[in-house]
Amino acid sequence: MSDSAKPTLMVIDGHSLAFRAFYALPVDSFVNREGQHTNAIHGFISMLLMLLQREKPTHLAVAFDISRFSFRTREYAEYKGTRSETPAEFKGQIPLLQQALEAMGITTVTKEDFEADDILATLSKQGADQGFQVFVVSGDRDAIQLVNDDVTLLYPSVRGVSELTRYDRDKVYERYGIEPHQYPDIAALVGETSDNLIGVDKVGEKTAVKWVTQYGSLDGVLEHADDIKGVVGNNLREQKDRAIRNRRLNRLVTDVELPVGPADVALRPLDEAAVRELFATLQFRTLLDRVFKVVGSGDPTDPSTTDGSVEDAGPTPPPVKTLIDEELGYWLERKAAADAENGFGVAVEMIDGRLSAIGIATHDDAVLVPGGSGAQDYEQLSAWFASDAPKHFHDAKAAIKALGTVGITVAGVAGDARITGWLANPGKQGQPLADLVYQELGEELPTADPNQLVPETDPVNVGVHAWYVLRVVTALRARVDPTSLTVLDDIELPLTSVLARMETTGVGIDRPVLTGLSHELGERAADLAQQAFGEIGHEVNLGSPKQLQEVLFTELAMPKTRKTKTGFSTDAASLTDLQEQHPHPFLGLLLQHRDATKLRQIVDTLDAAVVDGRIHTRYEQTGTSTGRVSSTDPNLQNIPVKTAVGRRIRSAFAVAEPYTTLLTADYSQIEMRIMAHLSGDAGLIQAFNEGEDLHRFVGARVFGVEPSDVSPEMRTKVKAMSYGLAYGLSAFGLSKQLRIEQSEARTLMTEYFARFGAVRDYLRNVVEQAREDGYTETIFGRRRPFPDLKSPNRVLRENAERAALNAPIQGSAADIMKIAMLGVDADLRDGGLGSRLLLQVHDELILEIAPGEQDRVEDILRTRMGGAAELTVPLDVSVGVGANWEAAAH
């Protein structure tokens, strides 16, 4: 068998190569947005791709050390003892690198008590014995001993990771003048500083090679020790134990028991989704393209995929029958009896905003109902959708809205793959069905060929999707923890219909208000811009931070502000600071211009979103990691309120006929109340139970004065402190926000915690508990994992700590609001009221009130919102009414 016909096995010392890469590439240039260093990962993968292209291995394994301890350190405690602590920036990269390799379909191997080199030695020996051509890639010189006719060592050169020296037998002889197997004998005599193995004094490479060549081996040298003259001879005789010890330690173990052998590490297709996701977080863009080019897409039909084997495709979908309504009636009846427990998977397809097809599936059957024009076509179907028959979706809310367009009402929402996946992993928001299918079932969701010019409904249709939905939901439910299931069944699934209705309803807009504001703000902005240009003598794009930097820091030579990635900050806080240190009319005009253009932009965006006099936002139910809903297209949860002009924007959100008024209801200080409840802090609980102004009460305690003597300044300070608490605020942050000295901020915090100590204990405990459990939990059992609490990377870890401390508070508030919404919606509908929910802004609900219903609706809101949770403090709800959002504020 010629070499070219042999399978090629490549084994890599992951740790040593990554370490080389770490020092070859600048640490600071490779940091992702989360502060994670990535230079070693980048360098390693880059080198790996180069190796794959050049050597074309058919089999590949990457070995890692588990720790710096092994049988060698037990035998000789000083082994590798001179090595300084691995830099923290490096350590955190190894697990990520291992993840990346797994995603790329590359086997990683570790073994307790052994070093990566021993794994290399074992695999290379087995590989050679089994007829592989073997490449060993290692930055450890001990690996030279592995070289033989079948094994080549690729050793990184001093010039960096991109260049590797090929050591075959000839090259080893050329470089050292010995056979590869003699290398450890040489090294034993000379010693290896990096392993803290001291050799025989005065014996260097030349002497060692001379001796070993003369006597054949270290044993031979020691046998003839008496023949060697001079000081070195003496040293050898006196220090031979060192050489013997060194030789024992540098012998690589070739019979480590490993979970895999060479034949098991054939290159597999990569996991495209996982690679994309991981590389996105690592911010490796060009590497991503290279990976796909070199390793292949993972598509078994892709000729660039290195491995030809096809993964088990899993069960195949049942053939999908296209049924008309009457046939469907029989089908549903028959299946309902057989699949009462499992329920049905449902998928809908929209083309150009019209419902084009509905798919329904059981575990072994699937049907498709073509889209039609009206509800009369869907008699059986409508009845079934309105029944309690358990239905599972991927994005139930979207399906409910789609079905609503043809007059179908949906009840019996029993599952939602998207939401379940999100509850299991709230960090990943709203995964597509295909991702969940791959993740939970290990299968590829069939999709239409994008190159097809005329899309065919067969064989990839919503019937097939419905079948996958049912399977994925089943898999996810089985995997999710029981407390998350409660949140799913009791809160999220019932909420889908409520949100769907709110989206469909939309909120009325008084367009003339918006148009007027837009003109007014436009003129104001233009005027301010002209004035600003006058101050600096030329025009400039005031919306361009880059051009502003040129004006501020070069032309006007102002002191430099906070650094950003691309230069120096021109944000409002920085400009305000500048104005104090270095007053200039341009700064004030710029700030005002920013304000005017920002508001105008908001106004214009809103105006563009109006359809038939109303704006229909979309609530993203899986859009946050804490449990809140978010709002998009447009975002109605960030409409200005703090400034006078901002409030005028709110006045454009107006009641529309036949409704008579808008009503807003919000929770006051819900997060502080949750903190009081969760911490059990007696002082805080007392504050809420006495019903006194919270910040006044807290201020009185902190500053040791009567509540009536709390000054506005004192109130501002404790207010900032209280709010900051739930975010993990530091003395530094507090001082910056309040523009006070850090020492004063520190004193404020000390005083605060002296009075409200249970709060501090609670916050500390949340993080501690989360570190132990690996997740946080809200009052209602919504969980959020926090793997980074154990990260060696400080930035990552401390970010996770603050997020973990906030998660139960923000999340519990979100749960409470959701429960309240369910109650309010149910009462309104059960009570036959015409009033309806329109908007939710985290702790506030906005409703449209039908004539004569105001008192009843207000009563429902107070009852349902106030009673959404039983806390040790009351949930205070304040209600306002008016013709528009601004007028209804309180």
Partner DNA sequence: CGCTTAACGTA
Partner DNA sequence: CGTACGTTAAGCGT
Which residues of this protein are in contact with DNA, per CB under 7 A?
Answer: 33, 280, 283, 285, 429, 541, 543-547, 564-566, 569-574, 594-595, 598, 601-602, 605, 620, 623-626, 628, 630-635, 637-643, 646, 720, 723-724, 727-730, 732-733, 736-737, 798-799, 802-803, 806-807, 810, 841-844
Could you give the residue ranges of the DSSP H alpha helices within 643-791? 644-650, 670-679, 682-690, 694-703, 712-725, 731-738, 742-755, 757-773
Question: Whose Cβ is closer to DNA: residue 229's or residue 285's?
Answer: 285
Angle between helices 585-608 and 511-536 (to 10 degrees): 150
- C-alpha triplet 131, 137, 142: angle, nearest 5°: 100
**Within 13 Å, how many C-alpha atoms sit on residue 151's CB side?**
26
Give whichever of 89 and 443 is closer to DNA, judged by the CB atom: 89
- Closest CB to DNA among 46 and 570? 570
Q: Which pair of structure tokens corresponds to residue 585?
A: 């009319």
Q: Toward DNA, which CB reaches closer, 34 or 113? A: 34
Closest distance of CB 842 from DNA, Å: 3
Residue number with CB closer to DNA (329 or 623): 623
Cβ of residue 806: shortest distance to DNA, in angstroms? 4
Provide, rounded to whole angstroms, the least separation between the CB of residue 238 and DNA: 56
Residue type at position 254: T
Distance of closest approach, residue 601 Cβ to DNA, in angstroms: 5
The residue whose two tokens read 């901002």 is 646
For 196, what's the count of Cα atoms within 13 Å in the CB-facing half-sphere? 11
Task: Give whichever of 207 and 769 is closer to DNA, judged by the CB atom.
Answer: 769
Distance of CA 37 to the CA centre of its chain: 16
Contact 647, 640 (CB under 8 A): yes
What is each CA distance from 339 to 44, 314, 510, in whole angstroms?
A: 52, 22, 50
Q: Rounded distance, CA 389 to CA 331, Å?
A: 13
In the complex with DNA, the residue whose CB is nearer, 533 or 727, is: 727
Q: How far apart are CA 101 and CA 155, in angstroms?
A: 21
If the CB atoms of residues 330 and 732 are measured against DNA, the closer one turns out to be 732
- Whose Cβ is closer to DNA: residue 16's or residue 626's? 626
Contact 344, 389 (CB under 8 A): yes
Minimum distance from residue 253 beta carbon to DNA (Å): 44
CB of 724 to DNA, least distance (A): 4
Least Cβ distance, residue 578 to DNA (angstroms):
12
> Minimum distance from CB of 49 to DNA (Å)?
18
Question: What is the rounded distance in angstroms from the CA atom of residue 699 to the CA atom of residue 677?
Answer: 20
For tokens 């104001």, the residue is: 524
Which residue's CB is nearer to DNA, number 440 or number 666? 666
Q: Which is nearer to DNA, 11 or 578 (CB)?
A: 578
- Minimum Å gap between C-beta 864 and DNA is 17
Q: Take residue 587 and report the two structure tokens written for it.
A: 């700064």
Task: Indicate the angle between helix axes 670-679 and 794-830, nearest 10 degrees.
Answer: 110
Sheet strands side by side (includes 614-615): 507-508, 614-615, 610-611
CB atoms near residue 214 (< 10 Å): 12
Long-range contacts of 798-805 (CB under 8 A, 24+ apart): 799/34, 799/35, 801/728, 801/767, 802/727, 802/728, 803/625, 803/728, 804/766, 804/767, 804/770, 804/776, 805/726, 805/727, 805/728, 805/763, 805/766, 805/767
The neighbour count for residue 312, using CB atoms within 10 Å, is 7
The residue (of 530 and 643) whose beta carbon lies closer to DNA is 643
Residue 303 DSSP class: T
Minimal distance, residue 671 CB to DNA, in Å? 8
Rg (CA), the chain: 35
Amino acid letter, residue 54: R
CA–CA gap between residue 841 and residue 832 (Å, rounded) = 25
Q: Based on CB atoms, which residue is closest to DNA, 483 or 730?
A: 730
Q: Smallest distance, Å, CB 649 to DNA? A: 9
CB of 689 to DNA, least distance (A): 23
Minimum CB separation from DNA for residue 858, in Å? 20
